[in-house]
Amino acid sequence: MVRLREAHLRSAPARPHRRIPPLAGLFFRSVAGLQTESGTYIVHPNREKAISQATKATVMLLLIAVAVLFLIVTVGGWKSLEGVQIISIAYALICLLMAYYVARWNRGVLPVAAGLAIIFGIVAVIAGPQWFYRDHAGYHNPGLPPSLLGLLTLIIVPVEFLLIVFAMRGFNQKWNIEVEITRDEYESGDWRRRDLTGEGSLEPRPG
C-alpha cells in the first residue's frame, strides 16, 4: 500500500498553483485565479497584460519615491516647518500604504493617489521657493541646507505629476474586471492569449 501511494504521488500532475513567498506574492498576484465551489476559476485578464503590470510597477515606484522625498524634506527641515511635520509624515505613510494596495491590484486607491498628488504637488510648488529664500544670512537653518531642501521639494512636483498620469492610466485599465473560465482553460493557460473582456487590446500571440 505504501509503494502504491508513493507511485501515485510521483505520477500525479503538477498543480497549477505555485507556492509564492508573501512579499513576492504582492508582485505575482495576477498569476493565480480564484477557484469557485463549482470547479471553475475567476481570473482578471486585464492584470495579465504587460502594460497593466508595467503601470502597476510604475505607480508603486512613484508612490514610494514621493514618500521618501517627503520624509527627507520633513526630517531635514524639521525645525523650520512650523507644525506641518505631522501632515508631511502622514502623507508619506499614506503613500506607502497605497503602494501596498496597488501591489495587490487594488484599483480603488488610484483616484485617491491622483487627488492627493494634485494637492501636495501644488503645495510643493509653493514651498520650493521658500526654502531658497532661507538660504541667506540671518536665517537659522538646522538640518539639511535650505538649497538642497528646496531642490528636493521642487523635484516632488514632476514626480507628483507622473503619479497623477500613471494612476489614472491604471484606473482606466480596469484591473477589477473578473471573468469565469473552466478548469481546463485555466490549466492550459490559453485564456491569457484570448480577449476575454471584449476590448481587443491583448498582446498578439507569439509566433
Residue 42 is predicted with a pLDDT of 76
Cell (9 digits) for 26:
504582492
Among 67, 62, 160, 69, residue whose Cα is nearest residue 114: 160
Residue-wise pLDDT tens digits, 152-188? 999 999 999 999 999 999 999 988 887 776 655 655 5
pLDDT tens digit sequence for 31-89: 455 555 556 777 778 888 899 999 999 999 999 999 999 999 999 888 877 778 899 99
Judge residue 63's burial from the number of C-beta atoms within 10 Å of its C-beta, 0-12 exposed, 13-18 middle, 19 or more buried.
buried
CA pair distance 96, 61, nearest whole angstrom? 10
Query: Confidence band (pLDDT; 50, 70, 90) for 123?
Result: very high
Residue 86 C-alpha from the chain's centroid: 24
Domain boundaries, the chain: 48-172
Quote the CA–CA distance of 47 and 160 in Å, as a whole number.
24
Instruction: Quote the pLDDT of residue 185.
Output: 61
